[in-house]
Structure formats: structure tokens, C-alpha cells
Amino acid sequence: MLYRTAGQFKTTYEADQALFPVRQDAILLGVILLCAWVIFPLTASEFAFQTLLIPVLIYSLAALGLNILTGYAGQLSLGTAAFMGVGAYACYKLITLMPWMNPIVAILLSGVFSAGVGVAFGIPSLRIKGFYLAIATLAAQFFLVWLFEKWAWLYNYNASGAIQVPNLEMFGVYVAGPQASSIVQYYVVLFIVCLLTMLCINLTRGTLGRTWKATRDMDIAAELIGINLMRSKLTAFAISSYIVGVAGALFVFMWRGAAEPNLFDIPLSFRILFIAIIGGLGSIMGNYLGAILIVGLPVVLNLLPNALGISIDSALVEHLNIMIVGSLIVFFLIVEPHGLAQLWRLIREKMILWPFPH
């Protein structure tokens, strides 16, 4: 009943190819945006901002970047965290070398450096693919983390080897640093995430997106019909690394406040990969669903036992979180490889057809 499409006629090709062919989809998105921009900021506590809202958005953006490369272009990558680190360190150097620069501009520019590094490490994808490409990106992960540790210029020769986010102002309001409020940081993150999500939606629906999908499904056939595989793969690496680099800058400047090289080690790469797998590869919405589950699960496991009056050791909570996430990955790989996004598509189709069984 909620998704009844009676009376919604498509009389042109443009209407048939619209972003929201069903009117209820646009209404649902409007409700979600209203909650994100108005209701959550008015009702959320400091705890909710720091443990749920801001990390969900940042992890969603990082998974979106990985999904462009792996889900749409079919190029495996295990170096996502390292490219996030490139974005974070690039943003730090931009801010310290040019203190007058607008923080949002610095965050968006930091992705350019990450895109350049991503293209450099994406060149092997022209000759290798699959497991071997994953190993090549894993080598990039180890090399870049080593570089963050050894190249003291990146962290301004700080004795601790860490980068500290300074207080950054924009229009007289602190947007980053110790004096910035969580709601301001949330709005900055939300603005950038919405901007890049709309960019990715348009890219994946256009010519470039179809080129990526053809490369992913069968690269030899794609080359035979005239697709330039080098351009297709390297643009996927560039755009993916750009988005991941921006996510890395947000990760440090709008959430963590400080970072050491080991923050961008291999566990973060796997965490983002798990978000993409559980949410659904080749899906924009799946990144948000996967991030909500991965970020929200530890919070629920910590709060639910206390609400029920059950005392559970924090180490047990951590072990339960790892076990549940691992079980979910196995479940989705076997039962529903397209993840939570596909489950939502099935529910939506059932609601459109309801109350009829087929």
C-alpha cells in the first residue's frame, strides 16, 4: 500500500530513466534528509554525535570510495586505510603550510593527493587482476604506513610522530580542533558526504559507470567493443582514492582530532571492506546500511546488557562484536552476496506488489 505505483505513468524515456522512477522513493529520501539535517542535530547528544552520527557518515564515505573501485569497476583493493592516511596527512600539511586556507577546501583538496597516489598504485591493475591485484594494493598499504612513520616532514617533525588537529575557524565558528563543537563538525561532514554521494550517483548512472560495469563483468569483451581498459581502471582508482582520501581527512579532522601512522593500518582497511560487503557491493545505499550496522553494533552490545540489568565484561563485548560481524560476513557471502541493499530491494518489490503474492 505504501509503495503503490498506480497512476504513476512513464510517457518519456527521460521519465523512465529518472533517478526516482517511483514517487515514494523520493519521499523516503526527503524524510531521511530531513532527519539528517534537522531532527538529528536538534535531538542528538554529544555521545550520539561522537559514537554514531559522525563515524557512520565517515565510514559510509570511505566504503563508498571502495565500492566505486571494487563494486563497480571490479578491482580488488586492500589498501583503503593507507589512502585515507594520504588524505589525512595531505590535509594536515595544507592546513599547516597555508593556515589561511578554508578548512572545507583543504579537506576537498586533500583527496587530490590521494587520487594521485591511488593512480600510481593502480597502474599494476593494467596487467594483473583478482587476487594478485589485492596483494599489490596490500603492498601499498604497508609501504604508505611505513612512509607515514619514517618521513618526519609529514608530521612537522613532531617528537610523538602524531599529527594534532589545530583549531580551525570558518566564518568565525570553529569547525575543527579542540574548541570545535560536535554539531558543527557533524554538519561539515554531512555536507561533504551529501556532495560526494550525489557525485557518485551521477557518475555510476552515466557513461563512466557503464564503462566500469563492463570492465568488471568481462574486461576482454569490454575491450573488444572499444572500451579503453587503461582509462576505465585508472579513473576508477583515481575517483575511488579521491573519495577515500577525503574520508581520511574527515576521519582525523572532524572526528579523531589526532592520528598516528598505525591508525591507518590494515584493520581499518578490513573494517571498510566489511562495511562494503555487508552493505552490498555495487550499491550506493548499501554503504550507509553497512556503516550503520558495523558502527552501531558495538554501541548496542554495550548499552543493551546494561539496559536489561546484565553485567558483561568489556572484553566479552569486544569478542561478541567480532564474532557477530564475522558471522554476518559469512552469512551475506553465502545467502545474499549483494548485501543489505539487495534485502531492501526485495522488501521494496514486495511492498509494490502487496497484497498480491507475485
- How far is the C-alpha of 113 from the C-alpha of 142, rounded, in Å? 18
CB 103 within 8 A of CB 192: no
Q: What phi, psi does 10 have (nearest 5°)?
A: -110, 110
pTM attached to this predicted model = 0.92
Whether pLDDT at 326 is above 90: no
Residue 60 grid coordinates: 559510509
What is the CATH number for 222?
1.10.3470
Mean pLDDT of 328-342: 85
Note whether residue 314 is domain-resident.
yes
Note whether residue 165 is domain-resident.
yes
Note whether residue 77 is domain-resident.
yes
Note whether residue 51 is domain-resident.
yes
Note whether residue 27 is domain-resident.
no
For the chain, percent of residues with pLDDT exceeding 70: 98
The pLDDT value recorded for residue 23 is 82
Q: How far apart are the first and last CA of the chain?
A: 15
The pLDDT value recorded for residue 322 is 85
CB 163 within 8 A of CB 88: yes
- Quick: pLDDT tens for 155-198: 888 888 889 999 998 888 999 988 999 999 999 999 999 999 99
Confidence of residue 213 (pLDDT cuts 50, 70, 90): very high
The pLDDT value recorded for residue 358 is 58
The CA–CA distances, whole Å, from 92 to 39, 57, 176, 258 equal 32, 21, 12, 10
The pLDDT value recorded for residue 55 is 95
CB 275 within 8 A of CB 247: no
Listed in sequence order, the residues at least 6 apart from 109 whose beta carbon sits closer than 8 Å to its beta carbon are 90, 91, 94
Note whether residue 22 is domain-resident.
no
- Quick: pLDDT tens for 76-111: 889 999 999 999 999 999 999 998 999 999 999 999
Note whether residue 35 is domain-resident.
no
Note whether residue 328 is domain-resident.
yes
- Quick: pLDDT tens for 111-150: 999 999 999 998 888 888 888 888 888 999 999 999 999 9
Q: Mean pLDDT of all residues in the chain?
A: 89
Mean pLDDT of 298-311: 79
Which of 197, 190, 177, 175 is closest to 40 using CA atoms? 190
Domain count of the fold of the chain: 1
**Residue found under cell 557491493:** 281
Mean pLDDT of 25-44: 92
The pLDDT value recorded for residue 193 is 96
The CA–CA distances, whole Å, from 340 to 1, 104, 278, 333 equal 22, 32, 6, 11
8-state DSSP, 351: H
CB 264: neighbour CB atoms within 10 A?
A: 28
The pLDDT value recorded for residue 357 is 63
The pLDDT value recorded for residue 1 is 57
The pLDDT value recorded for residue 349 is 81
Whether pLDDT at 354 is above 90: no
For the chain, percent of residues with pLDDT exceeding 90: 51
Whether pLDDT at 305 is above 80: no
Confidence of residue 72 (pLDDT cuts 50, 70, 90): very high
Which of 202, 231, 195, 250 is closest to 122 using CA atoms? 231
Burial label for 209, CB within 10 Å (0-12, 13-18, 19+), is middle
| Domain span at 287 | 47-353
Higher pLDDT, 307 or 81: 81
